[in-house]
């Protein structure tokens, strides 16, 4: 039994405290609203471990054995810094603060430095799985002080999701590495969700299918390589009926997507690292455009609606659905190739020495992107496979088999005005990535012409030279 502190009993904090108690651990609870902490303790009275309500930070600290370990589940940003500022003067040498929120990894790096300068330890941990996951077993990605990880890994592994008995919970490296990994998890989550929205759109607007028919298609995809939590819940979202109107609830949901920032951060960091992340970018842009409903409605009045029925452009309905499934498989491979490339670039740039196989393993259960696919990815990395997943035989073969359908779908989709930015981005990326002889020679020529930026000649590599235009009077 371990005794931990936990600050912030909102939905995630309450669920995680009860999860820890269910696993026999004692948890001292603190919240600005003591009645919330009391409610969590009351609801968990029958659990194996104790849930102890504390009236203030000092009481929480007094209740914990030294060195103390305190988990913080408050909103990222200002509220988290307020809690850290409150704890620093009260804690003793070697005590640990662990942030389990969706913090920006750069902020986590700063917090590690600030907390360690005060003689304390800090862990930045991404946890995925939503409130339900926090209660029954999330996926946990930790970074920061390795010594302190040894102290809390027992209870966190107990509380985490298990894949075939293996805890989906690990420490990956120093500083903000845990939150970086969680950020990329969310970037991939954005890309997966956008592909689901695009295939839904083709079925709805291109093939004229209703929500119930679309739900059946998503359900059928659970039998193939797309088997994943997000496809499973896409089927449930499409099938759900609104009790008030007896219509599919999906038809009544306003088409303005929210976002809290992790997808955008993923794209920004990928750009900084020079790693392609076009599917995440397409997904973030699609959410941005969706948010401007008024602007879209105004444009539709001026230009007419974009998507038009696709008729038999993709063959029979079943043929079209098979093409959609294959297109999504191809695009999904591209999204994961990109996601793991960003992680590899970050690992090299920041000397984190990230274990890509271990990352894929903690994503196999508990988290939002959990899927059969991730088990295959971990298998590739575990076998010492290429860090470019597209070159691992299982994904290379799959990509080769499905790319023709991605081409068919994107081609027909574009011709019929469908909304397919992520599928389009996947194809554009794959086309460029598989081309040994690109068109960047023209870019280099232009750069040299207007700015004398120089280029290398293919017949004289290693030498920076100028083109003949610099010898003319132009
Ligand atoms: C998870 C989710 C979780 C949360 C996202 C949603 O892994 O459990 O990703 O972190 O649902 O913050 O992010 P958006 O609001 O940006 O879609």
Tell me, what's the pLDDT at 384?
A: 86
- Please state, in angstroms and rounded to a whole number, the distance separating the CA atoms of residues 218 and 230: 10
- Please state, in angstroms and rounded to a whole number, the distance separating the CA atoms of residues 439 and 57: 61
> Do 54 and 76 contact (CB within 8 A), yes or no?
no
- Please state, in angstroms and rounded to a whole number, the distance separating the CA atoms of residues 304 and 149: 57
Do 17 and 81 share a structural domain?
yes
Tell me, what's the pLDDT at 139?
A: 98
Tell me, what's the pLDDT at 176?
A: 97
Do 222 and 167 share a structural domain?
no
Do 427 and 297 share a structural domain?
yes
- Please state, in angstroms and rounded to a whole number, the distance separating the CA atoms of residues 255 and 178: 32
From 182, 332, 341, 376, the catalytic residue: 182
Q: 260 CB under 6 A from ligand 1?
A: yes
Look-up of token digits 């093939």 = 207
Look-up of token digits 């003591």 = 34
Q: 139 CB under 6 A from ligand 1?
A: no
Name the stretches of the chain with pLDDT < 70: 472-474
Ligand 1 centre to CA of 200 (Å) is 21
Under DSSP, the state recorded for 248 is B
Domain count, the chain: 3
Under DSSP, the state recorded for 39 is H
Do 444 and 372 share a structural domain?
no
Q: 258 CB under 6 A from ligand 1?
A: yes
Do 238 and 93 share a structural domain?
no
Ligand 1 centre to CA of 186 (Å) is 6
pTM of the model: 0.96
Q: 189 CB under 6 A from ligand 1?
A: yes
- Mutating to test ligand 1, I would choose from 260, 288, 367 the residue with most ligand atoms within 8 A of its C-beta, which is 260
Residue 385 maps to which CATH number? 1.10.1040.10
- Please state, in angstroms and rounded to a whole number, the distance separating the CA atoms of residues 189 and 369: 6
Give the CA distances from residue 147 to residues 20, 93, 123, in Å, rounded to whole numbers and listed in that order: 21, 13, 10
- Domain of 472, in residue numbers: 440-474
Ligand 1 centre to CA of 268 (Å) is 17
Do 170 and 187 share a structural domain?
no
User: Quick one: CA dihedral 25, 26, 32, 33, positive or negative?
Assistant: positive
From 146, 189, 232, 294, the catalytic residue: 189
Do 169 and 187 share a structural domain?
no
> Do 56 and 32 contact (CB within 8 A), yes or no?
no
Do 294 and 192 share a structural domain?
yes
Do 342 and 266 share a structural domain?
yes
Tell me, what's the pLDDT at 473?
A: 54
> Do 49 and 20 contact (CB within 8 A), yes or no?
yes
Do 200 and 164 share a structural domain?
no
Ligand 1 centre to CA of 306 (Å) is 30
- Mutating to test ligand 1, I would choose from 189, 190, 363 the residue with most ligand atoms within 8 A of its C-beta, which is 189
- Please state, in angstroms and rounded to a whole number, the distance separating the CA atoms of residues 125 and 30: 19
Among 131, 186, 178, 140, smallest CA distance to 161 is for 140
- Reading the block at residue 7, the tokens are 């600050």
> Do 189 and 370 contact (CB within 8 A), yes or no?
no
Do 362 and 237 share a structural domain?
yes
CA atoms within 13 A on the CB side of 346: 31
Question: What residues pair up with 140 in beta bridges, in sequence order?
Answer: 127, 169
Indicate the residue among 134, 155, 175 that finishes a domain. Answer: 175
> Do 22 and 52 contact (CB within 8 A), yes or no?
no
- Please state, in angstroms and rounded to a whole number, the distance separating the CA atoms of residues 144 and 95: 14
- Reading the block at residue 177, the tokens are 């590495």
Ligand 1 atom with the shortest distance to the CA of 262: 16
Kindly calculate the radius of gyration of the chain based on its CA atoms and give it in whole angstroms: 25
- Mutating to test ligand 1, I would choose from 124, 184, 186 the residue with most ligand atoms within 8 A of its C-beta, which is 186
- Please state, in angstroms and rounded to a whole number, the distance separating the CA atoms of residues 282 and 193: 11
Tell me, what's the pLDDT at 387?
A: 78
Indicate the residue among 145, 175, 205 that finishes a domain. Answer: 175
- Please state, in angstroms and rounded to a whole number, the distance separating the CA atoms of residues 71 and 100: 7
- Reading the block at residue 407, the tokens are 């081409």
- Reading the block at residue 286, the tokens are 């699609």
- Look up the ipTM and state it: 0.97
- Please state, in angstroms and rounded to a whole number, the distance separating the CA atoms of residues 115 and 72: 14
Ligand 1 centre to CA of 447 (Å) is 41
DSSP letter for each residue of 127-158: EESHHHHHHH--EEEEEE-HHHHHHHHHHHHH
DSSP letter for each residue of 300-312: HHHH--S----TT
Give the Cβ contact number of residue 154 at 10 Å.
13
| Nearest residue by C-alpha to atom 10 in ligand 1 | 128
Q: Angle 184-118-74 (CA atoms, 0-180°, nearest 5)?
A: 45
- Please state, in angstroms and rounded to a whole number, the distance separating the CA atoms of residues 447 and 457: 14
| Nearest residue by C-alpha to atom 17 in ligand 1 | 259
Question: What residues pair up with 7 in beta bridges, in sequence order?
Answer: 30, 72
Catalytic site includes residue 182:
yes
Residue 458 maps to which CATH number? 1.20.5.320
Give the tens place of pLDDT for each residue, 24-67. 999 999 999 999 999 999 999 999 999 999 999 999 999 999 99
Give the Cβ contact number of residue 196 at 10 Å.
22
Catalytic site includes residue 219:
no
Give the CA distances from residue 66 to residues 18, 96, 376, in Å, rounded to whole numbers and listed in that order: 22, 10, 42
Residue 153 maps to which CATH number? 3.40.50.720
Question: What residues pair up with 98 in beta bridges, in sequence order?
Answer: 71, 123
Look-up of token digits 């499934």 = 325
- Please state, in angstroms and rounded to a whole number, the distance separating the CA atoms of residues 452 and 101: 48
> Do 397 and 326 contact (CB within 8 A), yes or no?
no
Do 159 and 193 share a structural domain?
no
Residues in the chain: 474
Tell me, what's the pLDDT at 474?
A: 52
């Amino acid at each position: 039994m371990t005794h931990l502190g936990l600050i912030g009993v909102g939905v995630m904090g309450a669920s995680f405290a009860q999860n820890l108690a269910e696993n026999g651990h004692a948890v001292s609870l603190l919240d600005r609203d003591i009645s919330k902490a009391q409610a969590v303790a009351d609801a968990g009275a029958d659990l194996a471990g104790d849930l102890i309500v504390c009236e203030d930070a000092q009481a929480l600290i007094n209740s914990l054995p030294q060195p103390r370990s305190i988990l913080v589940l408050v909103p990222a940003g200002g509220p988290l810094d307020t809690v850290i500022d409150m704890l620093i003067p009260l804690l003793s040498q070697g005590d640990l603060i662990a942030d389990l929120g969706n913090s920006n990894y750069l902020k986590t790096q700063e917090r590690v430095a600030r907390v360690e300068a005060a003689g304390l330890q800090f862990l930045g941990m991404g946890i995925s799985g939503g409130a339900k996951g926090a209660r029954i077993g999330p996926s946990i990605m930790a970074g920061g002080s390795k010594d302190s990880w040894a102290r809390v890994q027992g209870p966190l592994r107990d509380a985490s999701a298990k894949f075939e008995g293996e805890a989906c919970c690990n420490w990956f490296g120093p500083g903000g590495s845990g939150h970086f990994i969680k950020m990329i998890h969310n970037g991939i989550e954005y890309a997966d969700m956008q592909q689901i929205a695009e295939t839904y759109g083709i079925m709805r607007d291109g093939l004229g299918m209703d929500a119930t028919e679309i739900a059946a298609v998503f359900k059928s995809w659970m039998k193939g390589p797309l088997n994943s939590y997000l496809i499973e819940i896409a089927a449930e979202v499409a099938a759900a009926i609104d009790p008030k109107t007896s219509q599919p609830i999906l038809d009544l949901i306003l088409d303005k997507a929210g976002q809290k920032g992790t997808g955008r951060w993923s794209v920004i960091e990928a750009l900084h690292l020079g790693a392609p992340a076009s599917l995440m970018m397409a997904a973030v842009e699609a959410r941005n455009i969706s948010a401007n409903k008024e602007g879209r409605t105004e444009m539709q009045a001026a230009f007419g609606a974009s998507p038009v029925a696709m008729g038999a452009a993709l063959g029979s309905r079943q043929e079209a659905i098979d093409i959609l499934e294959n297109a999504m498989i191809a695009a999904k491979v591209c999204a994961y190739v990109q996601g793991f490339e960003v992680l590899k670039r970050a690992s090299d740039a920041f000397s984190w020495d990230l274990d890509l196989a271990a990352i894929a393993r903690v994503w196999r259960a508990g988290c939002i992107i959990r899927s059969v696919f991730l088990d295959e990815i971990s298998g590739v990395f575990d076998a010492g496979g290429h860090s470019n997943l597209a070159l691992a035989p299982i994904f290379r073969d799959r990509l080769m088999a499905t790319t023709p359908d991605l081409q068919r779908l994107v081609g027909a989709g574009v011709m019929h005005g469908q909304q397919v930015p992520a599928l389009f981005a996947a194809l554009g990326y794959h086309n460029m990535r598989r081309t040994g002889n690109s068109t960047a020679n023209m870019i280099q020529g232009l750069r040299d012409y207007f700015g004398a930026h120089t280029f290398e000649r293919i017949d004289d590599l290693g030498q920076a030279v100028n083109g003949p235009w610099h010898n003319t009077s132009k």
